[in-house]
Structure 1
Amino acid sequence: MKASAFLYPWDVVGDPDAAGRIAELGVEQVTLASAYHSTRALTPRHPGRRIVTAEHAAVLYPPDPGRWEGRVLRPYRQTWVAGEDPYAEAAGILADAGLQVHSWVVLAHNSRLGAEHPDTSVVNAYGDRYPWAPCIARPDVRAYLVDLAAEAAARPGASGTELESCGWYGFAHLHAHDKVSGVALGDAAQYLMSLCFCTDCRTGYAGVDLDPDELRAGVRRALEPVWAGTGSSEQGWAGVEKLLGAGLADASLRWRVQVARGLQEAAVAAVRDAAPEPGFQVLLHADPAPYRTGANVGTDPAHILSTADGVVLPCTGGDAAREAVLGPYTGLPGVVAANFNVVTGMGGNPSTLARDAAHAASLGAGELRLYHAGLASGPDLSAVGDALSAIRGG
């Protein structure tokens, strides 16, 4: 199985040993961030630093002035890694070490965009805005994201890309000083809290014969038991239909699937148009349940594999969790990459990687993704190296 490790440019720039250390793991590829959201990250092996604070979503290369001149929505440049183009610098170093480089592009996840342009954000049924979640139904947001995908994906030296958050983002978000765990929201309630009621979405609901005011009232009514303390542990789409009613639920999803597919098709086409060669690979971080939101966007497996070259699927967890994610893609054409968290401190288990990868392969996964080689401890990286050696030997 071809294996790729996720990295940030700051893991490589300024560390002369980084590329060799990654190559020695046994991976063939690095998935290198070119556009990323805000984060605070450890750099446990870097000779010059231990913490990088990316204060806002930004591109890690110089954006093209001609593409963005005069536009209100445009990418922000980073200031926390030295150099004019840290992505290109890191990509060149990795390529010199014999590693293939694919870009890693985060799209609909940008807190600074929402803070500076509030009208771009998802608005929930209570009128609260989610500044981290751009509403992809807005024409200006979609145009911005499609152009960002094209520019950030087809960077010089990249032979492919992975698009993260290429769809709806919603309620769930790792926010600074988060205080939302006091009331448990099940999978179905998360969907209700992620429905958008901005002006564009309200118009869109009406276009699928759904009264937006009726939907808003239905969402608030369905969530009343949650706020009253009786909770809602409903899971899956059947849980959404139980809480909201099948008619409202299905109509809301029709609108959201229509919007998400439009963005995904446009983004993939724009990346291919911008790519330096026809074989440029375009993968999406995805989830097989179309109603899901977040970094791994909900998709219909058959549709997304007819649009992109493949998918990257979250596979950390037990056998049942992997089967639920990988099963819907089994037998379909396209690249299916199983993404494993290999950072023990973040819930990963690199000691079982060889066994888990074999299980993923039995379900149709043909590639591995390892999150995240820059964040992992020394023992975690050693375990990854051992697992990849065992996989190659097996």
Structure 2
Amino acid sequence: MRSAAFLYPWDVVGDPGAAARLAGLGVRQVTLAAAYHSTRALTPRHPRHRVVTARHAAVLYPPDAGRWAGRALRPYVQGWVPGADPFDEAARALADAGLEVHSWVVLAHNSRLGEEHPDAVVRNAYGDPYPWAPCIARPEVRAYLVDLAAEAAVRPGARGTELESCGWYGLAHPHAHDKTDGVPLSAAAQYLMSVCFCPVCAAGYAELGVPAAELRAAVVRALEPVWAGADGGPPGRAAGVPPVERGGEWAAVETLLGEECAGVLRAWRDRTARTLQRAAVAAVRDAAAGPFRVLLHADPAPHRCGANAGVDPADVLAHADGVVVPCTGDDRTRAEALAPFRGRPDGATVAANLTVVSGMGGRPGALAADAAHAASLGATELRLYHAGLASDGDLAAVQEALREIAGAPAG
């Protein structure tokens, strides 16, 4: 199985040994961040630093001034990695070490954009804004995301791209000093708290036959038992928590709202995400000169939100070259993530994304077994999250596992 590791430019820039170390792991590809959200990241081997704080979402290359001139929504420039174009510097070093570079582009996840443009974000049924979640139904947001996808994906030296957060973002969001776990939310409640009621979405619901005020009231009414502590369902998509059965998850939403209201939400949100995904992939292809592989980070349940945006498995593989799906966890987690893509077209990529950082719930020591299980379920490639964050011990385990997967002698 072809394997690729995720990496940030700051893992490479300023560390002359980084590219060779990564090539020595046995991966063939690096998926290198070109546009990324705010984060605080450990750099366990860098000779100049141990922690990098990316204060806001930004591009890690110089954006095209002409493309963005006069536009309210435009990418922010980073200031925490030295140099004018850290993506390019890292990509060159990685290519010189024999690694194929693909760009990693985060789209609808941008807290600074939401703080500076509050009208552009998801607003829940109570009117609360989610600054980290641009509303993908808004025309100005869609135009920004599509152009960002094209620009950030097709960087010099990149042979393909992986688009993250290409769809709805919602309530779930790792946040500094987060205090939202006091009331457990089932997957259905997470969904209801993620539904947007901005003016554009409200108009969309009305066009589909249900006034927004009626739909909002139904959502609020359905959530009232949650705040009283009577929801009773398992937590939703929190890290390390296996998802509930897909049919039961959506059936719970229909039970809470009624089939008509749930159907309107599903129709509007699925269509909005699907058309954005198609537009983003088309824009990347138009910007690329020659063959260029486009994958989406995806969840095969279309109603789900987040970094792995919900997709229709048949539709997404009709226009993208493939998907990257989250497979960290137990056998059931991998089966639920991969099984819907079993009918993939010939040549389509289904990459199993496995966390290899022990401190983040990964199992680097079980990588070979987990990869074999993923392959039995139809995965064609591996993604390893994340080579820059992992300890030396974790990377040593990854190296041994990749040798085993390749059939080479261990050690």
**Aligned counterpart, 1:375:** 389
**Aligned counterpart, 1:293:** 305
Equivalent position to 1:274, from 283, 287, 291? 287
SS at match of 1:194: coil
Given the two structures, how large is their TM-score scaled by the length of structure 2? 0.95
Tell me, in whole angstroms, the C-alpha distance in 1 between the residues paired with 2:324 and 2:206.
34
**Aligned counterpart, 2:239:** none
**Aligned counterpart, 2:78:** 78
Equivalent position to 1:242, from 255, 264, 285? 255
**Are the equivalent residues in 2 in contact too, given 1:288–1:325 (CA < 8 A)?**
yes
Q: Residue 231 of structure 1: CA displacement?
A: 2.5
**Are the equivalent residues in 2 in contact too, given 1:25–1:385 (CA < 8 A)?**
yes
Equivalences for 1:147-296 in 2 at 5 Å?
147-233=147-233, 235=244, 236-277=249-290, 279-296=291-308
Equivalences for 1:1-394 in 2 at 5 Å?
1-233=1-233, 235=244, 236-277=249-290, 279-333=291-345, 334-393=348-407
Amino acid at match of 2:50: R
SS at match of 2:180: coil
Amino acid at match of 1:384: V
Amino acid at match of 1:219: V
Tell me, in whole angstroms, the C-alpha distance in 2 between the residues paired with 1:291 and 1:81.
36
Amino acid at match of 1:115: E
Tell me, in whole angstroms, the C-alpha distance in 1 between the residues paired with 2:328 and 2:190.
21
SS at match of 1:132: strand
**Are the equivalent residues in 2 in contact too, given 1:341–1:372 (CA < 8 A)?**
yes
SS at match of 1:200: helix
Q: Residue 250 of structure 1: CA displacement?
A: 1.4
Question: Aligned-pair RMSD on alpha carbons?
Answer: 0.8
Amino acid at match of 2:375: A
Number of aligned residue pairs: give it: 393
SS at match of 2:79: coil
Tell me, in whole angstroms, the C-alpha distance in 1 between the residues paired with 2:401 and 2:207.
51
Q: Percent identity?
A: 70
Q: Residue 53 of structure 1: CA displacement?
A: 0.2
Amino acid at match of 2:66: G
Q: Residue 247 of structure 1: CA displacement?
A: 1.5
Q: Residue 211 of structure 1: CA displacement?
A: 1.7
Q: Residue 276 of structure 1: CA displacement?
A: 2.1
- Structure 2: runs of 5+ lacking an equivalent: 235-243
Tell me, in whole angstroms, the C-alpha distance in 2 between the residues paired with 1:323 and 1:210.
36
Tell me, in whole angstroms, the C-alpha distance in 2 between the residues paired with 1:274 and 1:372.
28
Q: Residue 239 of structure 1: CA displacement?
A: 1.3
SS at match of 2:161: strand
**Are the equivalent residues in 2 in contact too, given 1:210–1:252 (CA < 8 A)?**
no
Given the two structures, how large is their TM-score scaled by the length of structure 1? 0.99
Q: Residue 207 of structure 1: CA displacement?
A: 1.5
Q: Residue 232 of structure 1: CA displacement?
A: 4.0
- Poorly superposed stretches of 4+, deviation over 6 Å: none
Q: Once the two structures are superposed, what CA deviation does each residue of 1:84-135 show, in whole Å capped at 9, x if it has no partner?
A: 0000000000000000000000000000000000001100000000000000
The 10-residue stretch of structure 1 (239-248 or 354-363) with the greater mean CA deviation from structure 2: 239-248
Q: Once the two structures are superposed, what CA deviation does each residue of 1:57-103 show, in whole Å capped at 9, x if it has no partner?
A: 00000000010011111000000000000000000000000000000
Q: Residue 164 of structure 1: CA displacement?
A: 0.1
SS at match of 1:206: helix
SS at match of 1:105: strand
Tell me, in whole angstroms, the C-alpha distance in 2 between the residues paired with 1:262 and 1:320.
30
Q: Once the two structures are superposed, what CA deviation does each residue of 1:148-206 show, in whole Å capped at 9, x if it has no partner?
A: 00000000000000000000000000011100011001111010000000000000111
Tell me, in whole angstroms, the C-alpha distance in 1 between the residues paired with 2:82 and 2:232.
47
The 10-residue stretch of structure 1 (337-346 or 207-216) with the greater mean CA deviation from structure 2: 207-216
The 10-residue stretch of structure 1 (34-43 or 326-335) with the greater mean CA deviation from structure 2: 326-335
